Amino acid sequence: MSAAPSYRPAPPPPPQRRPGFFDHVNAFWHRVTEGLELQQLWKQFQTEARSGYRLYSRDVQARTPERLPGAKANHWQTIKDFFWAILMKLSPAKRVVLLVGLVMLFMGALEFTSGDVKTSLDLRSIGGLLILLLLVLETADRVVMKRDLEIAREIQQWLVPSEAPPVPGLDIAFVTRAANTVAGDYYDVVPRVEPGKFLIAVADVAGKSMPAALLMATFQASLKTLSTISPSLLDLITGLNRYACDHSISGTRFTTAFVAEYDSSSCSLTYVNAGHNPPLLLRGPEVIKLNEGGVPLGILPNAKYDSGQIQLRCGDLLAIYTDGVVEAENVAGQEFGESLFINALRSVPGGTAKQVIQQLMANIEGFVATAPQHDDITCMILRCTN
């Protein structure tokens, strides 16, 4: 008979160390920074500071008349204009709270004497609390606005395709990056009623953020509606222009657009460029710009448009983009420009549309670095595979 196995009780778990003071500090710091390193925090602060400086600088420039050549800069006037630019961004009630808080910060303490009793009131502490209260109120407003913008962004994402649809003879990829939460750029590939034909559209509504996003939604709706009832591309553009003129607020909200009709049976592209950045067709060492069209949509109700046509060849690369691509600026105020754009498109010879897009965005990000994005960026790449 074999001996019965002997069982030894498991050793007790080691006692857990209670978190100390520095553990709580580290946990607090990680929660505040969301795990970002100091270098990442500094880069984020630089980007936000430059963005804020741009915002207030526009107001300062509007308030300050142009100085005569050789005139000395008035630094006190500039500081005053910056102060007013910040103050006027607040509601009247919050302006009063800020002014009272700032005055109290500089007043120090007030002493009151009642008989033999002296009472001191520290106005600086009250002023600091008022400014803290103002920060809390502004943060609450920002949270509400950000929540509404997030909902608007989700709705806007429903209006554009997340992936390129299958189009015979074309490899398609696109990318969009809003300067704010929502964008005024639009892109889409829409099948036509006639089999084998597709509409390819990229548009840019003048302006940014919510107003441009709302007009972008109306453009998308009108394009989808007119694409089913307009027999020709020129009829479609004419209808889009009339609709845009009816909603352009006296011509102040126009839209540049490039709309093309692709015939997969012949690999031909018929297009209209309505005041948009000319798309670039790279065919070996040759660069062809697609310029035929007319004025932006929403300016002239009876505008006449011309159409262009080009026969795509196997290996051709067509880049349709908005001005935010070539006008992306670095910290020195230099633009990315068309030459760097073309170099980025050619840096992946024979690559897929997705590979070209990825390399393009990497080049733009490396060029821009910490500079804030001041315009929406959208680019669609088409590689002819037939």
pLDDT in tens, the chain (386 residues): 555 556 667 677 776 677 778 888 888 888 888 888 888 888 778 777 777 777 777 766 666 555 444 545 567 777 888 888 888 888 888 888 888 988 888 887 777 777 677 777 788 888 889 989 998 888 888 877 777 777 777 776 777 788 888 899 999 999 988 887 767 788 999 888 888 999 999 999 887 667 777 778 888 888 888 888 878 999 999 999 988 888 766 656 789 999 999 999 999 999 999 999 999 999 989 999 999 999 999 888 889 999 999 999 999 999 999 999 999 999 888 999 999 999 999 998 888 999 999 999 999 999 998 788 888 899 999 999 98
Show which of 154, 172, 187 is a domain's final residue. 154
User: Is the pTM here over 0.85, yes or no?
Assistant: no
184-203 residue pLDDT tens = 788 999 888 888 999 999 99
Based on the fold, state whether residues 145 and 196 are members of the same structural domain: no
Within a domain: 9: no
296-306 residue pLDDT tens = 998 888 899 99
One-letter amino acid at 91 equals S
As a residue count, the chain comes to 386
Based on the fold, state whether residues 141 and 203 are members of the same structural domain: no
Supply φ then ψ for residue 268, to 5 degrees. -100, 150
Supply φ then ψ for residue 279, to 5 degrees. -60, 150
CA distances 180 to 44, 49, 149, 211, Å, are 15, 15, 9, 12
Q: Which range marks the domain in which residue 123 is found?
A: 24-62+76-154
For residues 288 and 281, the answer to whether their CB atoms sit within 8 Å is yes
Within a domain: 8: no
For 125, the 3-state DSSP assignment is helix
Give the CATH number of the domain where residue 218 resides: 3.60.40.10
How far apart CA 232 and CA 54 sit, in angstroms, is: 44
Based on the fold, state whether residues 86 and 130 are members of the same structural domain: yes
